[in-house]
Amino acid sequence: MTSQPRARRVSSKLPTSLGNAPLPTNRKHYDIEGTLLQLLNRCQDPGTVIPFLRTVATPQNLVARLHHLLWLEEHHVRITDGAMVQSSATVTKVTDFSFKFECQAANVKLRKGDRLVLESTATGAVWDAVVEGSKVHVKEMRVLGGGEFVPFEFSKTFHIRRVPDRHWFRHLHAAVDAVWSNLGAGVAFGVAKLQPSRKLPPSAMDTGKLEFFDGSLDDVQKGAIRNVVSSGGSLAPYIILGSAGTGKTRIIQELLLQFSANCTWSRVLVVGLTVRATCRLVEFYAAHPVAKTVPFALLVADGSARAHVSDFLRDSVWTVDALTTRELGPRVVFTADVYNAAYIIENKGCHFTHLLLDDSASMTEPEAMMAMACLEQQSRCPTALTNLHIVLTGDLSSLAPDVRSPTALKYGLGNSMIYRLLGLPLYGDSRAGRDGLFVTELKINYRSVPAIVALTGMLLCNYRSDGDAMRMEPAMLGRQRADSIPETSASSSKSPQNDPGKVEEPTKKSESRFAPDPKKEAMSKKSLTAISGSTVVPASDRLLQFPAKLPTVQFTAVRGMVKYLDNDQDPSKAYNEAEIVVVLDYLQHAYQAGIPPDQVCVFTPGRGQAMKIAEAIRADGLPMPAVPVSFDLVGHEWDVMIISCLRSATARGNLAGQGFNAHPELSNLAVTRGRDHLLVVGNDRELAQEDDFWRLFLRLTRAEKGCLVGTLS
């Protein structure tokens, strides 16, 4: 990677809100910082036409404030020779999931919080890990390209690819975010220039003859596509809002095909939130006939991301290192990381006329700007000044950007660009009505069955933003199927579960390390918690009595003991064996119902719980479902969604703040991923006492008799 230009020292007076401390000198500058300086310089270049990204401040002022905010941080990332440092390491095993390290390269200094990509020198398997003091802890077990789930295997030597933790980059982006915030909305988006003229500039695409590739789009979705195509040269990005399952990604797919097939001069950049979500877009495009005439590429940070890519897409994968030696030729480029935009900007042969940001509600404003900086006009464009297209999709009820920088939190910079744009008068207000020329709201859910749509809709109604213009209405039912009639635990009149006084012996299943001994763990009636309107079932064995048909929505209450990986009282390493038992039963019941493993997802907010669930699934010999982390849920859906709540608590012991507690966005994201079945297990008492979201969830499921209540020690 080529060296970045150094920032110029300036003597601009800093605002009193930031203080007047001296600027740092004689220190290495960051790659991202240099890229942002390039962006600021390009904003002053009259030859670069980015109508919505004009700044009224001088680059010197922005750089001065950027340096000052960076100086306020206690930690700095010092990266030399690019964004990765490669080295081999001799390690000593400490526990099953951690080890001590001694790097063989003297210039490699790992510090707490650094993220590593470990590649076994013996097998070539790849894992994610994080540095914790003098130990390296395996953070995630990677699913390799062939779909095989590979557990962590200790080896004496690893090939280490050092990848700085995303949160360190967020420090830098948060600092730039503070610059935009302190200088006002006019810095990045001149409010005076964003007033609608009610007459859009002409577009190079004839919308009157627009033919849709996807004939199943509804009228609202088609209207959004027409608005985007006809709004070439508008002074603001186009925003598509919608809750889970409303078809935001389908619009991205259709726009991708429209721009690729109908604009021979176009170059399209598609940015997704995660590698898996972006790969789905790539696979959709690669399977379409348009891809045969319009070449494409998937840009990844390093070779480890190839593990998520299907075999037939391997030849289309580019690493960012390749951009330093050759131009990026394909007209359609996908990337799963906005930080890769830093490399795209440096490549003089890269310029894009269309930008599609999927799930941008989970990206910070500076992250989105990194991608926007890749836009540039071409002289070959038929209407050179009127055909930059930017489309942002997002769900305001989903995960907000993960910003942990103290400076960012101090200045209230946890919002995304899409959130800030919606605060401008141009886009209208949800109460008075959005301006259809610049924003479309999708309100029909095409993903889930009626029971799940109704449940999530009522939950969303209670967790909209209070009193501002960012409220989102719950999605309406758009999916009707003959086999989608809600089936709860009390729906079968022939089932013995309908008689609360009758307790049937559980079916005997294969033993597991978590299975209690039936002779020693006999369940007494006193250990059952009876709730009015719910079905009470025994939980003395590892199998709870499910109805003959897999229920649509069900919550199983268990009271288990929380333990910790490596006896470390870190909340992220907590796990609950009782919940794992029920998860295994849910999983086996789903497989018995004919659900394929790739259509089942098991999600839990704790890393330790996820590892133990994966370990238990392998021990039982069951096919491995998807076991994602939080941000990997965005943009994905499965037929069966299994959730282990792992207990939420606010102020008791080491579990304070752990799990879903006080995090309705994560809770909403989890419960909206299932198409046909939503199966949840957790401690109903803790959830009802400590978490408003799950208290309402329990009340709604009990009202529909979709709650199995029992205790499992």
- What domains, with CATH codes, occur in the chain? 85-163 (2.40.10), 221-447 (3.40.50.300), 496-709 (3.40.50.300)
Side-chain-side CA neighbours of residue 464 (13 Å): 17
User: Cβ distance 686 to 647 under 8 Å?
Assistant: yes
Q: Tokens for 691, please give them.
A: 């978490």
Say whether 248 sits in a helix, a strand or coil: helix
Give 454's DSSP letter.
Answer: H
Distance CA(203)–CA(382), nearest Å, equals 9
Residue 621 has what pLDDT?
Answer: 87
Distance CA(590)–CA(596), nearest Å, equals 8
Residue 687 has what pLDDT?
Answer: 82
User: Cβ distance 661 to 648 under 8 Å?
Assistant: yes
For 137, phi then psi, to 5°, come to -110, 130
Residue 665 has what pLDDT?
Answer: 79
Residue 103 has what pLDDT?
Answer: 47
Q: Tokens for 645, please give them.
A: 């709540």
Task: Give the residues across from 100 on adjacent strands.
Answer: 92, 135
Distance CA(205)–CA(622), nearest Å, equals 52
Q: Is the dihedral of CA 531, 536, 541, 547 positive or negative?
A: negative
User: Cβ distance 600 to 613 under 8 Å?
Assistant: no
For 452-465, b/e burial (b = at least 16 CB within 10 A) is bbbbbbebbeebbe
Q: Please count the residues of the chain.
A: 713
For 601-616, b/e burial (b = at least 16 CB within 10 A) is bbbbbbbbbbbbbbbb
Question: Which stretches does DSSP call E strand in 438-533?
Answer: 439-442, 444-445, 476-477
What is the DSSP pairing of strand 389-394 with strand 354-357? Answer: parallel
pLDDT tens digits along 230-258: 765 455 788 998 888 888 888 999 999 98
Distance CA(294)–CA(88), nearest Å, equals 41
Task: Tell me how crowded residue 384 is: count the other CB atoms within 10 A of its CB.
Answer: 16
Helix %, strand %, coil % of the chain (to 5): 35, 20, 50
Residue indicated by tokens 């969830």: 697
pLDDT tens digits along 376-385: 655 444 444 4
User: Cβ distance 495 to 547 under 8 Å?
Assistant: yes
Distance CA(20)–CA(515), nearest Å, equals 63
Write the CB contacts of 418 (distance below 8 Å, at least 6 apart in sequence): 239, 360, 361, 368, 392, 394, 396
Distance CA(575)–CA(607), nearest Å, equals 8
Q: How far apart are the first and last CA of the chain?
A: 56
pTM for the model: 0.66
- H or E segment and range at residue 591: helix 577-592
Residue 277 has what pLDDT?
Answer: 79
Angle between helices 31-44 and 166-183 (to 10 degrees): 30
Residue indicated by tokens 């008075």: 432
Say whether 186 sits in a helix, a strand or coil: coil
Angle between helices 607-620 and 577-592 (to 10 degrees): 50
Distance CA(412)–CA(410), nearest Å, equals 6
Task: Tell me how crowded residue 584 is: count the other CB atoms within 10 A of its CB.
Answer: 25
Q: Tokens for 259, please give them.
A: 């721009």
For 447, phi then psi, to 5°, come to -95, -55
Distance CA(445)–CA(476), nearest Å, equals 6
Residue 18 has what pLDDT?
Answer: 28
Amino acid at 329: G
Distance CA(113)–CA(450), nearest Å, equals 43
**How far is C-alpha 195 from the chain's CA centre?**
32
Q: Tokens for 296, please give them.
A: 């494409």
CA dihedral angle for residue 434, residue 437, residue 439, residue 443, rounded to 10 degrees: 70
User: Cβ distance 393 to 249 under 8 Å?
Assistant: yes
Residue 6 has what pLDDT?
Answer: 31
Q: Tokens for 142, please give them.
A: 């990677």
For 226, phi then psi, to 5°, come to -60, -40
Residue 642 has what pLDDT?
Answer: 94
What is the CA angle 446-255-393, rounded to 5?
A: 60
Residues of the chain under the 70 pLDDT cut: 1-209, 231-235, 301-308, 321, 324-326, 339, 341-343, 345-350, 365-366, 369-370, 373, 376-388, 402-415, 430-432, 461-548, 567-569, 647-659, 661-662, 703-713
